[in-house]
Amino acid sequence: MVRADLEAAGFNACGVLSVEAWDDRVPAAWRSGRMLDAARSVRVLGCGGRGFGDAFLASPEARRDRDPIDSFTRRVVEDAVRELEAEGVRARAGFYWERREGEFADFVGLGHACGLGVPSRLGVLIHPNYGPWISLRAVILSSEELETTPPLDGYAPCTGCPAPCATACPGEAVAQSGFEVAACVATTRSHSPCRSRCAARHACVVGPEHAAAPALEQRYRAAVIEFTTDRD
């Protein structure tokens, strides 16, 4: 039931880590002993394609002026936690925007570890189906013993690709040596088209049919600007 409710809200690309793998990949304040000492598994909650956007835009949170996407995410995920607890499972949620003792968790790394995609020139995961149109928004630590999902060994979509994403990026943030976060942030803040649409992500040849709807992408871009400003 929890899985069905999450999928209905657009959390349709979820992986599972063992608690040991989780603890190896997060800062000390995020480890299971600090968040949920009874944890045995960790769900990494991803949203691929347009399902999340459709659910969000139909929600009451979409009419809020501040942090509407995060507010929607929190409600859906915390409802899932309460549902697990009603079934006798201990559970706790964590979110990509949270600092714990000043530290963020690396959600791209966590998604890679549980098979939700591979790192790309774009600085985001590339999913075999959804391409760069996947967002990792939350985790649920729980006392359940869930079957883990392995990394996508051998999947390397950027290898041999002519990188139209690099050509499309006006800020030259997509480099062969790696994604230049500072260049992306500076360009997004100063270059008005980037504030509503990521040309580099749209140029990716994997999963273009899953691109976010314009109304949602504008919300995403605003959230990116705010999130990166908070991390400065």
Neighbours of 207 (CB within 10 A): 19
User: Is-contact 187 199, C-beta < 8 A?
Assistant: no
> Confidence class of residue 225 from pLDDT cuts 50, 70 and 90?
low
What is the pLDDT, as a whole number, of residue 212? 87
Host domain of residue 165? 2-149+156-231
Sign of CA dihedral 17, 84, 1, 67: negative
Number of structural domains found in the chain: 1
Beta strands at 178-179 and 41-48: parallel, antiparallel or unpaired: unpaired
User: Is-contact 124 111, C-beta < 8 A?
Assistant: no
* Lookup result for tokens 């659910």: 55
Does 9 or 191 have the greater pLDDT score?
9
Least confident of 114-128, 144-158, 188-202: 188-202
221, pLDDT greater than 80: no
What is the pLDDT, as a whole number, of residue 139? 98
pLDDT in tens, 191-215: 878 888 899 999 999 999 999 888 7
The C-alpha atoms of residue 189 and residue 27 are separated, in whole angstroms, by: 29
| 139, two tokens | 């985790």
What is the pLDDT, as a whole number, of residue 195? 84
Closest among 149, 45, 25, 24 to 91, alpha carbons compared? 45
> Confidence class of residue 190 from pLDDT cuts 50, 70 and 90?
confident
Ramachandran sector of residue 172 (left: φ over 0; alpha: ψ -120 to 50; beta: rest): left
The set of residues, in sequence order, having a beta carbon less than 8 Å from that of 87 and lying 6+ positions away, is none
Mean pLDDT of 31-60: 96
61 DSSP assignment: G
